[in-house]
Chain A
Amino acid sequence: MAEIKFEDALKKLEKIIEELEQGDMSLDEALKKYQEGLELSRVCSQRLENAKKKIDVLTKNKKGDFELKSLGEESLEEEK
């Protein structure tokens, strides 16, 4: 669950709410969905709090293949 994309988690959560709102769900199933929804919203909150920036530079190696090189904050400053 930790690997889920933030957007996907939001979408899933929205879908669960929709399903609940349709109301033709057994109590048991509704409870299950509700718990799943709570877990998703917990994951989203966590992702909101703990998001880390990731900045890469697209480069090509000698073979002409693409490579992503992490961009340090310093290198940006130096080049200025």
Chain B
Amino acid sequence: MKDLFEGTKHSETRHIYSVAELTRDIKAILENTFINVWVEGEISNFARTDKGILFFSLKDNAGLLRCVMFGSLAGAVKFEIKDGMKMVCFGRVGVYEKDGRYQLYVEKIEPKGIGSLQLALEQLKEKLEKEGLFAPEHKRPIPYLPARIGIVTSITGAAIKDILNVLERRFKDAQIIINSVQVQGEGAKDDIARGIKDFNRFNAQVLPREKVEVLIVGRGGGSIEDLWAFNEETVARAIYTSSIPVISAIGHERDWTIADLVADVRAPTPSVAAELVIPRKEDLQEKLTGLQGGLRKGFSDVLAGSKDGLADLNHRLGLAMEHSWVLNRNHLESAVKKLLLLNPAVIIEQSMERIADSVKQMAVRMKHAFALKDSAFRAAVDTLASLSPLNILARGYSITFKMPEGGIIKDAGFLSKGDSIKTRLDKGEVISEVREIVRGRE
């Protein structure tokens, strides 16, 4: 204590800082000294604000460093930061004067030991695996010989060239439909996801025979950063929810992305993806030749199989033919008979016979009719004869005629006194003169 005031003699030279001054000086020293520092420690008190600012501390067994990470830098962190993680941070030390606090303004944060992308990959992989996105039972078979192949990649990239090259030297029967998307850089993940969804929407709008049957999603080789879009969750989910089977074709053989894990089939390269769905002409030719052989053999087997039955068949065929011949012969004979009957000469002859018969019958009938008429005539003549007035005269009657006209007198009133009359008797006539008229009853 005493010592503290010993230096009073120097009091005129002592400098008293204001808090602000000292803080400013500290700030200047710290901020000029620790401009680009790497510091490692374990994360604690991690928090993310609504605006996306990250607050956390890095600590080890003896110290603690407050850290802050702002906006776009924080957004670029691919993995999820959690308490307890060992991290390496890069940034500058800054002093927050109002609180008298220094902290690390973090520009980069990387997991210790592995790269941050690797960590992000591991984390997403774990998450999606838990959700079942990689489950084998979700994998759909790739159709054999698809008629329509959809490709989600950049039309200017290497992948499409490789795929079209494969098409060129193989069986070109399939229709290739390209949906060109950005495959790296900002927005690539959303573009790729949209490209996959587009094909699914396209399928919902076209006829069944126009549907895309399989998708190839991918790009040519590049750095892990170049391929990163295929490690994004949105791409993984688009592949998972696609109703069209997806073949992933990303980079080279050694590159494995999340998309590869979700895809129904992972092709090591775009060329291999194309080869999976575009068959070799020779293979098909071979298959076809095999089928043609099978067809011939199958048929000849049927032939051989029926060989035993063939003799029987032959016999039955003979019988059937004989039977049919007999039947036919009978038919023929009756037909010939019918035909003969239908011969005009025969018909005429028959008609002539019928006419002759008719004539004969007519003659007989006429003769008979004549006989009948003749006897009737004779009877009539007899009757007529019996009715002749001459016959009556013979029985004592007479007929009187007026003279000179000769009319028969039936009424005395027609005569006058002095008229001459002639009376016909059975034998001879008498001419008389009327002397008196006696009127009879009316």
Residues of A within 8 A of B (CB): 5-7, 10, 13-14, 16-17, 19-21, 23, 25, 27, 30-31, 33-34, 37-38, 41, 44-45, 47-48, 51-58, 65-66, 68, 71, 76, 79-80
Contact = CB atoms under 8 A, between A and B. Distances in A.
Counting chain B CB atoms within 10 Å of each CB, the highest count among A33, A38, A58 belongs to: A58
Nearest to B173: A51
A45 B174 CA distance: 16
Given A48-B171, A56-B177, A79-B156, A66 B202 contact: yes
Contacts of A17: 291, 294-295, 298
15 contacts: A6-B284, A10-B291, A17-B298, A30-B299, A34-B295, A34-B296, A37-B299, A41-B292, A52-B172, A54-B172, A54-B174, A57-B180, A66-B205, A76-B155, A76-B160
Contacts of A51: 171-173, 281
Interface string B168-208: 10011111111110000000000000000011011001000
A20 B301 contact: yes
Contacts of B202: 58, 66
Contacts, number: 115
* Size range of the chain B interface in the assembly: 35 or more
A45 to B, nearest CB: 6
Question: Chain A contact residues: over half helix, strand or loop, or mixed?
Answer: helix
Nearest to A5: B147
B167 interface: yes
Interface stretch (B107-115, B302-310, B402-410): B302-310
A13 B290 CA distance: 11
A11 to B, nearest CB: 9
Interface in B397-426: none
A56 to B, nearest CB: 5
A53 B302 contact: no
A38 B177 contact: no
Contact of B150 (A19, A25, A58): A58
B288 interface: yes
Contacts of A38: 295
B314 interface: no
Given A47-B173, A52-B172, A79-B155, A58 B291 contact: no
B179 A58 contact: yes
Interface of B: 144-145, 147, 150, 155-156, 160-161, 164, 167-168, 171-180, 198-199, 201-202, 205, 281, 284-285, 287-288, 291-292, 294-296, 298-299, 301-303, 305-306
Given A5-B147, A23-B301, A79-B155, A56 B295 contact: no
Closest 5 CB pairs of A and B: A20-B298, A30-B302, A7-B145, A53-B172, A34-B299
Contacts of B175: 54-56
Question: Chain B contact residues: over half helix, strand or loop, or mixed?
Answer: helix
Given A7-B144, A56-B176, A48 B156 contact: no
Contacts of A58: 150, 177-179, 198-199, 202
Given A7-B144, A48-B171, A20 B302 contact: yes
Contacts of B177: 55-58, 68
B323 to A, nearest CB: 21
B198 to A, nearest CB: 6
Contacts of B287: 10
A58 B194 CA distance: 12
A51 B280 CA distance: 12
Contacts of A66: 198, 201-202, 205
A47 B284 CA distance: 11
Contact of B288 (A20, A21, A45, A53): A45
B163 to A, nearest CB: 10
B178 A23 contact: no
A30 B288 CA distance: 20
Contact of A41 (B147, B291, B302): B291
Given A16-B295, A30-B299, 10 more contacts: A5-B147, A6-B284, A7-B144, A20-B301, A41-B295, A48-B284, A53-B168, A54-B174, A58-B198, A66-B202
Contacts of B156: 79-80
Nearest to A60: B198
B281 to A, nearest CB: 6
Nearest to B180: A57
Contacts of B199: 58
A6 B168 CA distance: 18
